[in-house]
Structure 1
């Protein structure tokens, strides 16, 4: 006999930034609703618990990465993973969110029953299968595959006698002291690893096929310290957060419209911090414009400083093959290595890889348009939180959480039991949901739901426009509301 499933109003999948933020916003606006957070790992943190490689940190300002409702009290404006994880844990404890978390709970499937307007969630929990029933399900599970990062098929890698590591699964017992290390890649992970590894390794070389734009920023911001001294904690936090978000958004827009002066500024940073005569245009002059791919943040020019001090190096070349002692390059050169780190990216994955079904019929999220960047076309009572590609994750995550909480309150006040976005029969042009040229996006953009070109089906990477839209959002726009067992009506 199948045991009865536990029932709550809202199931939140994931206890990272998105999940903690969603729990706070939903409970804040809907105190009468019950919720449970299902976290597949053993503790709070999400990305900031999974990644444990040396030096792991945020690649954007912590003032926009943290929650608007809970101030960041540490001095640094660019935070490492351990402190972010500590902040999330403390926040969850402060607002009693931690009491709602079920750890070691891997969500495998979710099936919608239109006769009862409820989801049945199938979970692997502590080695056993368990079921939950809920009215709503909120996926705060991120955008990539937690189990497997991306590693290309490198010729001859099986011949390599050293250690090969992917940063997504860094071994706790890996001792790299005095070792020769090659880091393959030039993205945020690689540029974070290089200066950190160089403090103990004999040599560290970043091997890149092509350069990436790097931008240096102070790890600590004196302006933030001044604002904190003048204003009360909560007001100062919101002020710093708002000013940072606006500054970053305007910089992005300026860089897109006027790439030439931004290129010149970034090059001046490199020349200023690297040794005289360094081949800046070989190793740090990309072929694309700034923000065609995400800019990599280097706090206090730490990567340039490591190169200038002779502790690290960059090689721009292509891999011919691996051999027993390292990597043979197409130029004819060879990189000796004891350890090779494949910082070659993530694998995109929507909804945590969960199988989604409506009345027992499996759906393919890739065939659905995204509604207001957080719901799927004709899928009732389901939400998916995905951040921006050009700004801090939490900026959109908080808009998504507040929009969800607002919709739930609206449904409660009107007595509705289901809501699903409906596009109708009008044709709509399709564009990529993520419009950056990063390798991990180009490889598997097809794994994401579709974006249209007009609201409310247009997934934008524009925080300022989204924040304005939220203020004037029409909640019944292109939305179907109804009751269990009833014929739905299209509102608006």
Structure 2
């Protein structure tokens, strides 16, 4: 028979002051700040996968690496001491070091998938049903504060368009997100569909063993070739400067450079586009038609730009081990694909580097007092809280800048909020539109003229809404938010405490 505690909580329920969902780079970083700033609060990290790392555990395709420098993609509190662009394996090693240094192992529950989360207004609690995948049974967790760090895409499956004739293809179709560990591509002809950061990583890695790799794209993408080193960091190390100082200095330097680069792209898009295309042309040489295959139609940084360390992506094209085709797939055939132009491409393996399946808040069935909660009906406050949803913070990072920069900004805000609630004796914090906001038009989560990758555009209806005010949207502007988020005042009428 079930018994209850003094507050009416069933004693078989695992209660924590804070529950962090996800043990990837967002969850690990958030736990660090929670431990640092709110050491008296109990907490747990619930992770669906069998180990930590999130993206860096899920993505195991050949050559997987960051496309952001680790001085800014890494944490501000943990120095990065290697080359700026890092392999997935080295990033996992880095995250494991943070877990051990912070003693987070005992706070993480692996193979724990959150099935549902209901806010109970009377008890001021989130009640969670959590599936223990290892034991095949459900557990109940309860918390006053829910911290969502589960990422923005579905880890179990990537996005592959439903092309006509796919079932007729005699070879193997692979998505990078579910790369088979036993896939032998030695001497094979491979088509990689897509031209984003994943394709830019895969093409040179596959070309080492494959007979030939064809990158098939609908339209060209911007690439940013450069050196996988930082001269100032190397100089400071030669001078035996403390690594904490080096990390802080290089981080600030790179952020300043990025701010200037993004400002130029905004103010002089034509000039910046020409510079970027010229750099690609210099790396490719005369054998590739740059005007057709490497000249995008959109503005620089309207979509994320992949950094190409040491120009390695371009080398197989120069060597004839890879080629690029810009066209649209008409149908799959038994031996490859037929294109809209009438051209056919033959392949033994087709890799669909076609992006993610957007997953808003982890496929969890959210409710409020038993009534289903649809986040698409809410307006986002600074892209981290939702109107009418109590005691919940959502981590959604940056696309133009390193994701982790926003993890830390939100973590510091969340800890300030938790301390404020405790100081005023408050059990519930909600944001609502202020009186002057209520006449503002409700807009899609992101302005497609500002940023418009396909994986966001095709599922925009699932996302929360925004207003045409900085505080009621995710601006994707780190350089504004690093000032505005620390200055958020809890006396703002948008906040409701009870």
Give TM class, smaller chain. Answer: over 0.9
Query: 2: CA distance between counterparts of 1:367 and 1:209?
Result: 33
**Equivalence for 1:485:** none
Query: 1: CA distance between counterparts of 2:30 and 2:64?
Result: 25
**Equivalence for 1:90:** 97
Please state if 1:427 is matched with 2:435.
no
Q: Is residue 246–residue 464 contact of structure 1 (8 Å, CA) maintained in 2?
A: no
Query: 2: CA distance between counterparts of 1:455 and 1:252?
Result: 18
Give, in angstroms, the shift of residue 67 of structure 1: 0.5
Q: How does 1:124-273 map to 2 (within 5 A)?
A: 124-125=131-132, 126=134, 127-230=136-239, 231-273=241-283
TM-score by length of 1: 0.95
**Equivalence for 1:310:** 320
Q: Is residue 389–residue 434 contact of structure 1 (8 Å, CA) maintained in 2?
A: no
Could you tell which deviates more after superposition, 156-165 or 109-118? 109-118
SS in 2 for 1:107: strand
SS in 2 for 1:297: strand
**Equivalence for 1:475:** 490
Could you tell which deviates more after superposition, 283-292 or 247-256? 247-256
Give, in angstroms, the shift of residue 479 of structure 1: 4.4
SS in 1 for 2:266: helix
Q: Is residue 318–residue 330 contact of structure 1 (8 Å, CA) maintained in 2?
A: yes
Q: How does 1:62-101 map to 2 (within 5 A)?
A: 62-74=70-82, 76-101=83-108
Question: Which of these residues, 310, 313, 322, is aligned with residue 300 of structure 1?
Answer: 310
Give, in angstroms, the shift of residue 228 of structure 1: 3.9
SS in 1 for 2:401: coil
Please state if 1:452 is matched with 2:461.
no
Query: 2: CA distance between counterparts of 1:457 and 1:320?
Result: 42
Structure 1 gap segments, 5+ residues each: 483-487
Question: Which of these residues, 36, 41, 59, is aligned with residue 28 of structure 1?
Answer: 36
Query: 2: CA distance between counterparts of 1:78 and 1:142?
Result: 21
Query: 2: CA distance between counterparts of 1:176 and 1:277?
Result: 26
Q: How does 1:48-67 map to 2 (within 5 A)?
A: 48-67=56-75
Question: Which of these residues, 14, 17, 42, is aligned with residue 6 of structure 1?
Answer: 14
Question: Which of these residues, 120, 123, 134, is aligned with residue 116 of structure 1?
Answer: 123
SS in 2 for 1:264: helix
Q: How does 1:358-369 map to 2 (within 5 A)?
A: 358-369=368-379
User: Deviation per CA, 1:42-75, whole angstroms, max 9, x where unpaired?
Assistant: 111001101111111111111110000111122x
Give, in angstroms, the shift of residue 229 of structure 1: 4.2
Give, in angstroms, the shift of residue 324 of structure 1: 0.9
Give, in angstroms, the shift of residue 422 of structure 1: 1.4
Could you tell which deviates more after superposition, 176-185 or 235-244? 235-244
Give, in angstroms, the shift of residue 481 of structure 1: 4.4
Please state if 1:38 is matched with 2:46.
yes
Could you tell which deviates more after superposition, 325-334 or 188-197? 325-334
The total of aligned residue pairs comes to 482
Query: 1: CA distance between counterparts of 2:151 and 2:446?
Result: 14
Q: Is residue 287–residue 318 contact of structure 2 (8 Å, CA) maintained in 1?
A: no
SS in 2 for 1:427: coil
Query: 1: CA distance between counterparts of 2:214 and 2:125?
Result: 53
C-alpha distance 169-478 of structure 1, shift in aligned 2 (>3 A) = farther
Query: 2: CA distance between counterparts of 1:353 and 1:134?
Result: 19
TM-score by length of 2: 0.94
Please state if 1:15 is matched with 2:27.
no
Query: 1: CA distance between counterparts of 2:371 and 2:256?
Result: 44
Q: How does 1:300-379 map to 2 (within 5 A)?
A: 300-379=310-389
Query: 2: CA distance between counterparts of 1:229 and 1:122?
Result: 53
SS in 1 for 2:143: strand
Q: Is residue 452–residue 459 contact of structure 1 (8 Å, CA) maintained in 2?
A: no
Q: Is residue 416–residue 481 contact of structure 1 (8 Å, CA) maintained in 2?
A: no
Question: Which of these residues, 98, 101, 105, is aligned with residue 112 of structure 2?
Answer: 105
Give, in angstroms, the shift of residue 459 of structure 1: 1.7
Q: Find runs of 4+ consecutive structure 1 residues off by over 3 angstroms.
A: 227-231, 478-482
- Alignment RMSD (CA, Å): 1.4
Could you tell which deviates more after superposition, 439-448 or 156-165? 439-448
Give, in angstroms, the shift of residue 103 of structure 1: 0.2
SS in 1 for 2:225: strand
Give, in angstroms, the shift of residue 215 of structure 1: 0.9
